[in-house]
Structure 1
Amino acid sequence: MVGAELARPAATEIARPAATAIAQGGASSAPAIDWKTVEEETMRHFQAIVRFDTTAKERPAAEYIKKVLDDNGIPAQMYSLEPDRPSVVARLKGNGRKRPLLIMGHTDTVTVDLSKWKFGPFSATRDGGYVYGRGVIDDKDNATAALMTMLVLKRNSVALDRDVIYLAESGEEGNARVGIGYLVAQHFPEIDAEYCIAEGGDVIRENGAVKYAEVETVEKIPYGIELVAHGISGHGSIPLKSNAIVHLGAAVGRIGAWRPDIKLNETTATYFRKLATIAPPEQAKYYRDVLSPDPKVARAADDWLFENEPRHSSMLRTSVSPNIIQGGYRSNVIPSEAKATLDVRMVPDEDRPAFLEQVKKIVNDPAVDAHFATAGAERPAPGAARLDSELFRAVETAVTKIYNTVTLPSMSTGATDMAQVRTKGTQCIGIGSAIDVEDQAKGFGMHSDQERLLESELHRFVRFNWEIVNALARAR
């Protein structure tokens, strides 16, 4: 059903813990919260949401979330472009002195290979202090933490200077058209806000200790560029100079060896400057050098980053990765056409037509065409959250209070649903639970076959969300 709809009955009834009442309508003092009770309920909701298989079918999780909100006196609606893929929106009203705050997380997940999981990917198994399951760190932790923040606000009757809007969106993993794209296009007034917090950042732990917090203030924009080589078809027993695969292979090789120029922005310059202050001396040198006005010094540092820390090298520029090659249909037939698709992640201020011309110059072959893969090449670039804003200060203060560490503003090399909200003028910051830097290599990270999250870090993340929302929205 397209548009707002009623939820089907959910199977789980949620008990309400006692609340500490705060008078509505005027300034309020910070409520005394029973965090032990909050943690117990957090785990119930988190496990319930993780246990729904939401790979391109978010309805059961959406219905569960809607029922929790409705049962706690927070009216929620579901919006769906496709029947099985609704998003949930709920709002706590403030006094209107400030524009709303949007807190969001997505309920869908990437697919799973059941044969590779020790614990069932939708079991939400608790083992050794961890919760295992698909989506526990992408992004059902955010969806749950934001949900619990709404419940704590409501149960404690917190007076608000601004509306707080909750969004559990569908379709983030590869099909934003059914989720945030649909909401922005058809129901944007329901989620229109001054500020937004969502996924996109991480708190980094190493050897069990928190090292720093990355919060995403800007993100790259994904585009596809296609290289299409044209030649003459023929019999494979007679090699031809015009062989499309040969021309394409050479073009892909040139693209693969190319690193576009370094393009720093406020976020990335601040990121590397602050990272240099906390990194070991041998690494800090490269973080400082990459900021050097001397191109040779910066390039030498970039060479080291590309070899040793490729994510950091990608943060410096628009990146290009050849990821798909298509050509030929029989081993004894020379194809007349071959195609490669480049995954291009542009920095927000990149000149798209000019960049395409750079690609053509690098390819340097009249037999190979280069063009954007879709009309999406003309979509507007999302803005960045200001580092001198009330939003960033609230996040930084919460990081200090909850994690006792430094806050690094970062530019995501990937893409999030914040991009479409940012294009409407909302300032967004991406946050995330604390994760062990060692986990990804061990197969415990995001999208891995043993995705996991420490229970203690889930609870700390709820507190982190609460501190941000309390700072930005509570009436004073």
Structure 2
Amino acid sequence: MQNLIEPAAPTSPDEYRQLARDIFRELVEIDTTDQSGDVTEAAQAVAQRLRQAGFADEDLTLAGPHPRKMNLVARLRGTGARGPLLMLAHLDVVEADPAEWETPPFQFDERDGFYYGRGTIDQKAMASLWAANLIRMRREGIVPDRDLIVVLTADEEGGQHNGARWLVQERRDLIEAVMGINEGGFGRMKGGRRMSNNLQASEKVYLDLELAAHGTAGHSSLPTADNAIYHLAAALSRVAAYEFPVQLGEVARAFFERMSRIDTGPMADDMRALLAGTADADAIARLSAVPQYHGMTRNTWAATRVDAGQSNNTIPHAARAIVNCRLLPGESPDDMERLMNEVIADERITVRQVVNGKPSPPSPLTPEVMQAVESITEQMWPGVPVVPVMGIGATDSLYLRSAGIPIYGVSGIFIDVDDARVHAPNERINIQSYYEGQEFLYRLIRSLS
């Protein structure tokens, strides 16, 4: 097998590696896209695997608001000495154009040391590993001190029936827990060298603002200064020029503290200065040149869509743009809307929230979680540090965090920073890393239960 990562880490026994692969293949080959796919089919496939492994029907629940968007909740019952632990993954995937792929996107393909197929990274790998590990624990006769609940959901990637949100609102009884593990924290490697095992403890808030500029409509042969497109263009120029101040929350501070011990040279010096509050403009600029660092240290916004006009010879009366905002945890969408109005400072432009932000609190970096992740990381990959991160995208963790259930994104699956193919054609996962992630998650859940 090519593309081995050295040194190799422990993996699960052969029978459970094969089981995970079989479930993984089955899930990848089920189309679970929003428009044409069927998440319920995938959920039923996992439920059948668990049923065959001896799980009672009363511990396997399919629930959801749409016949193609059912969620699976599976429970391995423990002694009840401690509150339940959730293990989350979403079964839906983004669309995949076969013309852009070397092999059909819903065909599980193995070559060159990788598994290929839509969802191999995001997120059917984790779904298959949760299922295989739950079966393993049952076969081994393990009775944990808390119930272990696997939750496989629909519409994380989009659509109208987000499973995590629906379960929180409609079937909280099925997922009541004291904490959980989800996606969001992959291991980082470069050139086959593991750099860090990341743990996501918070994420930014997604918010879309619509800017609508108004002017005087008319024939293009009689132009005036009151042109909605020009007003909008001027406003977007001011938006682009605005620089958000640097802010460090608990998770970002922990991230830079650890990264300052991993990095070397000027970058590490800049991180230490940032933490000490002594970073000058040049240091901030160097750190901000790294997109992830930029996103973790401030609110951001970016224009993503522009729409104006109906014909080439008519000046429109209105022009619109969408500015996508990503807010730090604790920041208010209403405050962002007010700031946008201040930056634009043009009464001819109105601003409104078109996709409302869903703030969620950070999950605390408790010793129980940090020590478990750090201990198992050291067992499997000696010398690889655990680095807390703030997600600059969005995951289903936000719904659970908002409901008072701390969720931590960690998988033990390492991805090359130069070959991240999430949502991309020819999505793939390193085979060795997949099986190392299986064992990591098994050990982590055993440690926490």
Bin of the TM-score, shorter chain as denominator length: over 0.9
For 2:12 and 2:349, how far apart are their aligned partners in 1? 65
Question: After superposition, what is the alpha-carbon deviation per residue over 1:411-458, rounded to whole angstroms, capped at 9, x for unaligned?
Answer: 000110010011111111002321111213xxxx11111111111111
| Pick aligned residue for 2:180 from 181, 196, 205 | 196
CA distance in 2: counterparts of 1:194 and 1:251, whole angstroms: 46
Which residue, out of 302, 307, 311, partners 2:284?
302
Label 1:125 to 1:331 Cα distance change in 2 as closer, same or farther (>3 A).
Answer: same
Q: Which residue of 2 aligns with 1:361?
A: 342
Contact kept in structure 1, 2:203 and 2:392, CA below 8 Å? yes
- C-alpha distance in 2, partners of 1:285/1:302? 11
Per the TM alignment, residue 298 of structure 1 is displaced from its structure 2 partner at its CA by 4.9
Q: Indicate if the aligned counterparts of 2:267 and 2:287 stay in contact, CA closer than 8 A.
A: no
User: In the alignment, what sits opposite 2:429?
Assistant: 453
Query: 2:434 is aligned with what amino acid?
Result: L
Is the partner of 1:137 in helix, strand or coil? coil
Query: Which residues in structure 2 correspond to 1:60-139 (within 5 Å)?
Result: 60-75=41-56, 76-139=60-123
Give 2:392's aligned amino acid: T
Provide the residue aligned with 2:3 in structure 1: none
Query: Contact 1:383–1:422 (CA<8 Å) still a contact in 2?
Result: yes
Q: Which residue of 1 aligns with 2:6?
A: none
- Distance of 1:41 and 1:351 partners within structure 2: 45
- Percent pairwise identity: 27
Residues 143, 34 of structure 1: alpha-carbon distance in 2 compared, 3 angstrom cutoff: closer
- Does structure 2 conserve the Cα–Cα contact (< 8 Å) formed by 1:402 and 1:463? no
The answer (yes or no) to whether the contact 2:80–2:147 under 8 Å persists in 1 is yes
Aligned mate of 1:466, from 433, 442, 445: 442
Offset of residue 320 of structure 1: 0.5
1:182 counterpart (160, 166, 173): 166
Flag structure 2 segments of 5+ consecutive residues without an equivalent.
1-10
What does 1:306-385 align with in structure 2 at a 5 Å threshold?
Answer: 306-307=288-289, 309-374=290-355, 376-377=356-357, 379=358, 381-385=359-363
Q: For 2:328 and 2:399, how far apart are their aligned partners in 1?
A: 15
The change in CA–CA distance for 1:341 and 1:189 in structure 2 (over 3 A counts) is: same
| Residues 82 and 178 in structure 1, CA contact (< 8 A), matched pair in contact too | no
Residue 390 (structure 2) aligns with: 411
- Structure 1 vs Structure 2 CA RMSD: 1.5
**1:217-244 Cα deviation digits (max 9, x unpaired):** 0011101111111111011112211101
How far 1:34 moved relative to its partner?
6.3
Instruction: Report runs of 4+ in structure 1 exceeding 6 Å deviation.
Output: none
Quick one: distance in 2 between partners of 1:325 and 1:392? 44
Contact 2:330 2:361 in 1 (8 A): no
1: CA distance between counterparts of 2:173 and 2:373? 25
The answer to whether the 8 Å contact 2:76/2:147 transfers is yes
Equivalent residue pairs, number: 431
Q: In the alignment, is the contact (CA less than 8 A) between 1:86 and 1:170 conserved in 2?
A: yes
How many angstroms apart in 2 are the aligned matches of 1:178 and 1:385? 21
Gaps spanning 5+ residues in structure 1: where?
A: 1-32
Alignment deviations for residues 330-378 of structure 1 (CA, whole Å, 9 cap, x no partner): 111111111111111111111333332221111121111122124x34x
SS state at 1:416 partner? coil
Task: Give the Cα–Cα distance (whole angstroms) in 2 for the partners of residues 158 and 278 of structure 1.
Answer: 38
Worse-matched range after superposition: 355-364 or 123-132: 355-364
